[in-house]
Amino acid sequence: MTDPRAQLHGLWLPLITPFSDGALDEPSLRKLVRHYAAQPIDGFVLGATSGEGLALSWDERLRLVSAVRTELEAVGRPLPICLGLAGAATSDLIDALERTASWPIDLYLISSPPYVRPSQRGLLAHFLALADRAAHPIVLYNIPYRSAVGLDNETLLQLAEHPAIVGLKDCCANRMQTRDLITRRPPGFRILTGEDAQSFDALQAGADGAILLSAHVETETFASILQHVKAGRHDAAAACWAQVEDLTRLLFTEPSPAPAKYWLARTGVIASAQVRLPMVEVSTELAARLDQEIERRVQREVQPRVA
């Protein structure tokens, strides 16, 4: 069996979930998977923030996972799949772990409980309870600006000792906390940056990889950044980052994943830019900016690029 820690590196795509007429758009989903399976990515995250996981029914989540796994097998690229889970009650998440235990996934991505604001002792007990029951390894998701409370590094270091907790998607938005954790983490505990606009700094500091919504666009450039950093080619990495740095901000100008979905629909990768309430599609103003940037990048394709 493959060590899950060995899978947690490189560029992971937190796949958007395409909708049509309010329903899961399976033809677009299958096209999306085939499109990105041909790109230099190292894994998919499904049903998390970018995938509007909280707006999906359990039936839709299973269909999502099954369709992605089927398409990956069809193209002969068995990329690992990480399923996003979230909830405010530990008991509900234990139920979710039991429900998904037999699904064709490799890992879970689990964020801190939103709204309830537990203490660090509460967070520790919560994640240990989940780790004791999980059929698949867990990647922690530290994103305090969504969950209202963040995991401190001392708590993360304790959790990293559990054999079922194999890594972290780091969205703490605190440069010093990220660097401190990278320095102090135990051997084998993987850290993937998930803060798009700050990802280059985290990778330079020693993060093992990245989970980036922005990599739906310019996928090869983002992959090149990781490859150059790993090889110590810092000037080449910086040149690639200069090509996409503004993109990482543009795609978060309005709540994600609406801007990315608009981009993918406009470029024909998916059929519709639909999102589910309370998310709404991009404003007319942002649509115009996205159109302009899409056109600029199409024109740039005929020019030499930094590899």
Known binding-site residue numbers for pyruvate: 50, 211
Cα 140 from Cα 127, distance rounded (Å): 8
- Altogether, the residues listed in the chain come to a count of 307
Query: What DSSP character marks residue 48?
Result: S
H or E stretch including 181? Answer: helix 175-184
Give the Cα separation of 146 and 214 in Å (integer). Answer: 19
Pick the catalytic residue from 31, 108, 115, 141. Answer: 141
**DSSP β-bridge partners for residue 209:** 10, 192
The span from the CA of 192 to the CA of 207, in Å, is: 6
- Verify whether residue 141 is a known catalytic residue: yes
Distance CA 226, CA 208 (A): 9
Q: Is there a contact between 57 and 267 (Cβ–Cβ < 8 Å)?
A: no
Close Cβ partners of 212 (under 8 Å, ≥ 6 residues apart): 11, 12, 13, 14, 193, 194, 196, 199, 222, 248
- Residue entry with tokens 């990482």: 248
Active-site residue, from 36, 169, 261, 262 = 169
Judge whether 205 and 179 are in contact, CB under 8 Å: yes
Q: Tell me the C-alpha distance between 301 and 54, whole Å.
A: 36
Q: Which residues pair with 110 in a beta bridge?
A: 85, 140
Place of tokens 């940037």: 293
Binding residue ranges: 50, 211
Active-site positions read: 141, 169
